[in-house]
Structure 1
Amino acid sequence: MPIQQLPDTLVNQIAAGEVVERPASVVKELVENALDAGATRVDIDLEEGGARLIRIRDDGGGIPRDQLPLAVARHATSKITSLEDLEEVGTLGFRGEALPSIASVSRFALTSRPDGAEHAHRLEVDGGRAGELSPHPHPPGTTVEVRDLFYNVPARRRFLRAERTELGHIEEWLRSLALARPRVELRISHNGRQSRHYRPVGGDGEHLARVAEALGPDFTSQCLAIDHSGAGLRLHGWVGLPTAARSSANQQYFYVNGRAVRDRIVAHAVRQAYADVLFHGRHPAFVLFLEIDPRRVDVNVHPAKHEVRFRDGRLVHDFLYRTLHEALADTRAGLAGGQPAAGSIMSGAGPGGTGGEGGAMSPSGAIGMAQGHRDGGHWGARVPGQSGLGLAVSDTVSAYRELYAGGAGARQAEPMPAQTDDQPPPLGYALAQLHGVFVLAQNAHGLILVDMHAAHERITYERLKRAQDGDGIRPTPLLVPLSLALSEREADTAEAHAEVLSRLGFELRRTGPQSVAVHAVPALLEGSDARQLVLDVLADIAEHGDSRRVHEARNELLSTMACHGSVRANRRLGVPEMNALLRDMEATERSGQCNHGRPTWVQLGMDELDRLFLRGR
C-alpha cells in the first residue's frame, strides 16, 4: 500500500483515540478549558452517563466570533506560543487537540460570547464537518455541547460501560477537581436532576470545608495538616492518620501545580513514609498539593496529561518522603495529631474488624485536644488529681524503667514536659488493668483504653531503631566473597554507586562486565539471602538513586525483636508501671500504632459514655 496523506477527519479520530477514552475524558478536557478561561462557575449537564449528552457551561472569558472556527482546528491554542511557553506550562490544557478530537466523534456545538460582545455566536460540527457560524442568545461565557459520543465510531461506542459506571467516572474526576479548585462553583446534573453541587469556599483557611464536602467528615476528622517548604518545593494539604487507612487506594489525591497526576515517584515516597505505621494491606488517604517551578516538571508526557516527569525525581522523592515521614512521626499517642476522636471505637483497623470502608475509628462526637481546656483553662471536676495514685510521675517512670531494665526496651530517660495539677498529661492517669491485657486510664475527655503489649512493642521498636541509627549500618565481612552474575546495567550501577552501597553496609567489587563479588553485607542482616537483597537494592538505586531495602529489612528484624521483647498479655502491672507506660507512649514517635499498624489506644469520651448509659434522657 502506498504512503498517503490521511484526511483531517481521520487524523482527528485517531487523535480522539488518545484523548477521548470515555465520557469522563470529554468532561475533563472541556472543564479544564473553562477553568483556563477564568471561569468561577461551571455547570455540567449529563444524560445517560454522558454518552447521550455532555453540556459544559461556564462564565469565563468567552471566545471571539472569528476565533470559533480556530477552536475546533487541530493544534490551535491560545495557551502557548513558543517552546519557552511549553517548558513552563501553567494552564491545564495546551495541546490544541481536545476540541477537534471530540468534535470528530460526536455531534458537537460550541456557543460563546466574550465579555463586552452584544451577542453570542454558535458553531456546529457533525462528525468533524464544521457548519456555518450563526448568532445565538447566550450570557457571557461559553457552552459546549457534545451529543451522541462515538455515534460514528461504533467499535468505540461498544466499549462504553453501563450508564452508572460512566457517571461514576465523571463524578470521581469532578470530585478530584473540586478538591483542587475550592473557589470554583461546580453544579452537576444527570438526566435532568441535580446530582452534586460544590459550593465555592473562601480563602485557604476554608479549603478544608471543600475537602469535607468532597470526601466526607471521616477524612477531615482524622487527618494531619501538612505545609512544608524547602529546596524550591512546597508540599501542603492533608494526610490521613494511619488508623484511618482504607482497604483500597480510593482516597489518594495528588496535585502538581494544581494538576491532578498519577506518578510512581510520588506513590513510592508515600508508601515508604507510611511503611512503619500501616496495617498489612491497608492504604493511606491523602489530599496533597506539590508546588514546583514549572520548568522543573514536564507535563507534556501523556496525551491526557495524567502523568508528569520531574527533572530531579530523586529530590522530589526525598522531599515528599521526609516531609510525610516526619509528620507521621509526630503522631504520638494523646497529642492532637495522633489522637483518636473522643467517643470513638476502633471498627476494622485490624483482623476481624467489621467497620466501614475506611476501616478506621468511627467518630461520634469528636472532641479535639484544643477543647480540653474547659472552665477557663482548667480541666473541670471530672478529672482526678494525681495525688491519689501515691507516686509522682518521675517516680512512676523510674519504676517502669526498672521493670524492663536490661531488656530490649531499656533506654535512657527522655525529658518529659512538666505537668500541673489542673493540666494532666494527654493520656491521663492509670486506673486499673483489665484481664492483664488493657490499661484503663482517665484523662480530660473521659476513658482511655491502651493495649499494653501493642504500646510497649512500639516503644521498644523505636528505641531499637534509635540505637541502630546512632551506630550506623555496620558491615560484616564475608569469610568467602559471594560471586554474583548480573546484567551489565546492574554491574554498572554497583560500580557507579559504590559510596551509596557502602553507607548501606555493602562492599561490592566488580569482577567482570556482568559480575560482582560481595565482600561485606550489613551486620544486622547477616544470614539473610544476600543475593536477593543485593539485586533488590541495585534495582532501587537504578530507579531512585538510593534504596531503603536495607532499612526496611533491618526494621522488620527489629520489629520482631521488639515484639518478643515487649510486655506480654496477662502480665500484671502496678499503677506506677501503667502510668509510666502512658508517659512513654506520649514521648514516643508513632505510638498511636504498634509495629504492625494496629492501634495502641482508643478514647471513649464522656458524651459517648453518657449515651451508653442513657444519661440525660
Structure 2
Amino acid sequence: MSNIIKLLPDAVANQIAAGEVIQRPASALKELLENAVDAGATEIDVLIKDAGKTLIQVTDNGCGMSAVDIRMCFERHATSKIQKAEDLFAIHTLGFRGEAMASIAAVAHVEAKSRPHDAELGTCLRIEGSKVISQEPCPCKAGTTIAVKNLFFNVPARRNFLKSDQAETRHIMEEFHRVALIRPDIAFSLTHNNKLIYKLPRSSEKSRIVGIFGKAYDQRLLPVEQKTDLLSIKGFIVKPQFAKRTRGEQYFFVNHRFIKHSYLNHAVTNAFSELLPADTFPSYFIHLEVDPADIDVNIHPTKTEVNFKDARYVYAVLHAAVKKSIGMHNLTPTIDFDMDPEINTALGMPAGEKVTPPSVHYNPDYNPFEQKSSGQPATPHAFKKEHQQWEQIFQPDIPAENPEETQTELPGMAGPQAETFFQVHKKFIVCNVKSGLMLIDQNRAHQRILYEFFLEQLQGQKPASQQQLFPQDFHFSAGDISILKELRTELEQLGFMWESFGTNRIVVKGIPENFDSSKTGETLERIIEDFKKESGKPGRDIHIRMARTMATQLAIRYGTILNNEQMADLFNKLFLCQLPEQAPDGSKTLSIIPMEKLEQFLKG
C-alpha cells in the first residue's frame, strides 16, 4: 500500500493560511497597519486604488528593517514579537503570529522598501505568489513602504467572491478606523483613487473621534473613566438619543487592540436600559487596559477575539463605569405618570403669584336617603345639569335627506356616517362605519400613505424638490459619505439635492417638497443606517428600503394632536392607497370593531 499523506508545498500552505488571514483587501490593510504601529511609527500614510484590488500601500516612519529582516518577515512563523511559548501571555504588540506577511505574499505581487534610521541605503524586495523575484539595495526614506498589488491574482475564485468597490471600500474604511481611533498619538492619512479621504494629525482621543466621524460627535460624546487595581477603563459613550439602528459604531479596545466581545457589549447595552429607543443600539469607544497575563489573544487568526481570565469582573466594572457616566450627566429616566401637560398648570405659574386652594361647595341639608313623594331618591341640582348635557351629546344621528350624498361606499364597508372623527390618546382615530366602529392607527396609516408616495417617486415619477434658501451643512464619516454617493440617484429621485465638500462634509441644497428641513440630517442618517443594516441581504430592493425608511422617519408621531380636518384628510388618503390595511412593515393600520362586539362590551 502506497503512502497517501504528503507534506504540502510551502506555496500551497501559504495560500491556505491566506484564506484564514487575508479574506479581502481590508484584511491585508489591517495587517500592514498593525505592523506599522508595532514598528513605532508616528506617521502612517495609506494609499488605495480600486478598493484595494489594484493597490494597497502603507508607508510609515518606523524603525525600518535591514536587508536580512525584510527577507525574513515574509517567511512563515518568522516574528520579532515572541521567542518562547510563555511570551504569548505577555504580548504588548498587535502582531505576533508571523503569518500575515507570508499570507499576503502568497496571493499578491508585493514590493517592500525599508531602511533603518541609522543606515544610508535601504532594501527593495519584490515577491510574486510567495516567489522572490528580486532583492537589491535602493535609496528610500527611513521607515518602511509596502505595496500590495493585484491581490488574489493567482486565486481567481477568491477574487470573484469580492463585493462591489463601494462595499470593499467601506470594509477598508472600517479597518482604518479601528487602528486610527485607538492611536491618536499617530498621524494618519488615507488616499483612495488619488483623492484624499482622511488627514488626521496627532490629537486627543476625542478629537480623533470627531476627525473620523464628523463635527456632530463633538456634542454627542460622554466620557467614561474607571480605574481599579486590575483594570483601567477610559473612553466615550454616545448619548442615547443618538443611538443607531446598526451596531456599526461600537468599538472595544483591549491594550490598544480592537476586539469583538458580545459579553462586554451586553454590559454597555444593559447600562443603557430604558434609555434607548426601540430597535436601536448604543455607540461607544471604550479602551480597557489589563495585565497581558490576564487575557488570551491567541484564539483567532484575525486576533479580534480575546478571552479574559475573569470576564465577570470586567463586566461588572464596565457596567458600573457606563452607569456612572450616564448618571453624572443626568440621562437617567425620570418617573412619568403620563400627566397631561394641558392640566399641569402649576409648571406655568407666574413668579410671585399665590396659589388659591380650591373651594368645595356642598348642601349641608342634603340627605341621600330622603324620599320624595314620587318614591324616588332626591337628585342634586348639579347632577340634573350634567345629565342634561350627556343627553345632548348622545343625541341620535339625524338622517340626511339624501343619504347617498353624505356617505362614500368603500370596498367591503361604508364610509363615516358623519364628517366627525375622534382622536383617542393622541394615537388612534375613531369613526363610525356601517358595521361598527373603525379604529385607525395614525402613525401606521401615515406610513402607508408616505411609503406609496415615495415609492412612486423612486420608480420614475418626476421628483419634486424645493430649493433651500439657506443650504444645510452636514458632516459624516468617510464611509457614510461613500454610501450617500452610492445612493445619489435614489436620493435625487426623492428630492434631495446635495454636493460633497472635503472628506466628510456635504451641503444639501434641495429637499423633498413639503419636507420639514429640520429633519434633513436625521433622515439622511436613518437612510445610511438602514442601508448598512440591509446590505448583503439578498432580494432587498433598494427602492422599497428607501421608501420605507422615508415613511417611517416622516410619519405622524404618536402624541401628535390632529384636528378634524387633518384626520379626515388622513382617512381619505389612506383609502386611496393600494394596500390601505397594512403598514409598510406588514402591521395593521386599521381595525373594525363590529356592533356585536360593542354590545358585548356593554353587557359585560
What is the TM-score normalised by the length of structure 1?
0.54
Cα deviation for residue 386 of structure 1 reads: 9.8
- Pairing of 1:596-607 with structure 2 (within 5 A): none
Match of 1:30 in 2: 32
Is 2:127–2:134's contact at 8 Å kept on the other side of the alignment?
no
Cα deviation for residue 325 of structure 1 reads: 2.1
- In percent, how many aligned pairs have the same letter? 36
The amino acid that maps onto 1:6 is L
Match of 1:163 in 2: 165
Is 1:330–1:338's contact at 8 Å kept on the other side of the alignment?
no
| Mapped partners of 1:99, 1:249: distance in 2 | 30
Cα deviation for residue 193 of structure 1 reads: 2.2
| Mapped partners of 1:569, 1:192: distance in 2 | 50
- Pairing of 1:586-597 with structure 2 (within 5 A): none
| Mapped partners of 2:229, 2:120: distance in 1 | 50
| Mapped partners of 1:325, 1:247: distance in 2 | 21
| Mapped partners of 1:25, 1:332: distance in 2 | 41
| Mapped partners of 2:90, 2:333: distance in 1 | 39
| Mapped partners of 2:129, 2:315: distance in 1 | 45
Match of 2:82 in 1: 80
Cα deviation for residue 182 of structure 1 reads: 0.7
Match of 1:18 in 2: 20
1:388 aligns with 2:390: no
Aligned length: 350
Higher RCO by CA contacts (8 Å cutoff, separation 6 or greater): 1
Provide the secondary structure at the position in 1 that maps to 2:305. Answer: coil
Provide the secondary structure at the position in 2 that maps to 1:388. Answer: coil
Match of 2:543 in 1: none
Cα deviation for residue 284 of structure 1 reads: 0.8
Cα deviation for residue 51 of structure 1 reads: 0.6
The amino acid that maps onto 1:282 is T
| Mapped partners of 2:349, 2:206: distance in 1 | 38
Provide the secondary structure at the position in 1 that maps to 2:111. Answer: strand
Match of 1:284 in 2: 282
What do the CA deviations read for 1:327-373 (whole angstroms, capped 9, x no partner)?
2234426xxx999xxxxxxxxxxxxxxxxxxxxxxxxxxxxxxxxxx
Match of 1:89 in 2: 91
Match of 2:140 in 1: 138
Unaligned stretches of 5+ residues in structure 1: 340-384, 400-435, 438-567, 571-617
Cα deviation for residue 326 of structure 1 reads: 2.8
Cα deviation for residue 223 of structure 1 reads: 2.3
- Pairing of 1:281-430 with structure 2 (within 5 A): 281-332=279-330, 388-390=351-353
Match of 1:274 in 2: 272
Match of 1:233 in 2: 231
Match of 1:104 in 2: 106
Provide the secondary structure at the position in 2 that maps to 1:27. Answer: helix
| Mapped partners of 1:86, 1:259: distance in 2 | 15
CA RMSD of aligned residues (A): 2.8
| Mapped partners of 1:137, 1:39: distance in 2 | 19
1:254 aligns with 2:267: no
Provide the secondary structure at the position in 2 that maps to 1:6. Answer: coil
The amino acid that maps onto 1:57 is T
Match of 1:42 in 2: 44
Match of 2:7 in 1: 5
> Which among 128, 144, 163 is matched to residue 126 of structure 1?
128
Is 1:255–1:288's contact at 8 Å kept on the other side of the alignment?
yes
What do the CA deviations read for 1:205-245 (whole angstroms, capped 9, x no partner)?
x3211111112232330221111112411111111111121
Cα deviation for residue 132 of structure 1 reads: 3.5
Is 1:241–1:338's contact at 8 Å kept on the other side of the alignment?
no
The amino acid that maps onto 2:259 is V
Match of 2:69 in 1: 67
Unaligned stretches of 5+ residues in structure 2: 335-347, 359-424, 427-558, 562-604
Match of 2:467 in 1: none
Cα deviation for residue 88 of structure 1 reads: 1.4
- Pairing of 1:158-197 with structure 2 (within 5 A): 158-197=160-199
What do the CA deviations read for 1:360-394 (whole angstroms, capped 9, x no partner)?
xxxxxxxxxxxxxxxxxxxxxxxxx9982446xxx
The amino acid that maps onto 1:258 is H
Provide the secondary structure at the position in 2 that maps to 1:269. Answer: helix
The amino acid that maps onto 1:388 is A
- Pairing of 1:476-515 with structure 2 (within 5 A): none
Provide the secondary structure at the position in 2 that maps to 1:131. Answer: strand
TM-aligned CA distance change 1:244 to 1:389, over 3 Å: farther
Is 2:107–2:129's contact at 8 Å kept on the other side of the alignment?
yes
| Mapped partners of 1:23, 1:207: distance in 2 | 27
| Mapped partners of 1:338, 1:107: distance in 2 | 57
Is 1:47–1:54's contact at 8 Å kept on the other side of the alignment?
yes
The amino acid that maps onto 2:280 is R
- Pairing of 1:145-160 with structure 2 (within 5 A): 145-160=147-162
Provide the secondary structure at the position in 2 that maps to 1:132. Answer: strand
What is the TM-score normalised by the length of structure 2?
0.55
Is 2:34–2:179's contact at 8 Å kept on the other side of the alignment?
no
What do the CA deviations read for 1:536-571 (whole angstroms, capped 9, x no partner)?
xxxxxxxxxxxxxxxxxxxxxxxxxxxxxxxx999x
The amino acid that maps onto 1:286 is Y
- Pairing of 1:574-593 with structure 2 (within 5 A): none
Query: After the TM superposition, which parts of structure 1 deviate over 4 Å for at least 4 consecutive aligned residues?
Result: none
Cα deviation for residue 192 of structure 1 reads: 2.0
Cα deviation for residue 154 of structure 1 reads: 0.8
What do the CA deviations read for 1:397-453 (whole angstroms, capped 9, x no partner)?
x99xxxxxxxxxxxxxxxxxxxxxxxxxxxxxxxxxxxx99xxxxxxxxxxxxxxxx
Provide the secondary structure at the position in 2 that maps to 1:317. Answer: helix
TM-aligned CA distance change 1:569 to 1:128, over 3 Å: closer
Cα deviation for residue 274 of structure 1 reads: 1.2
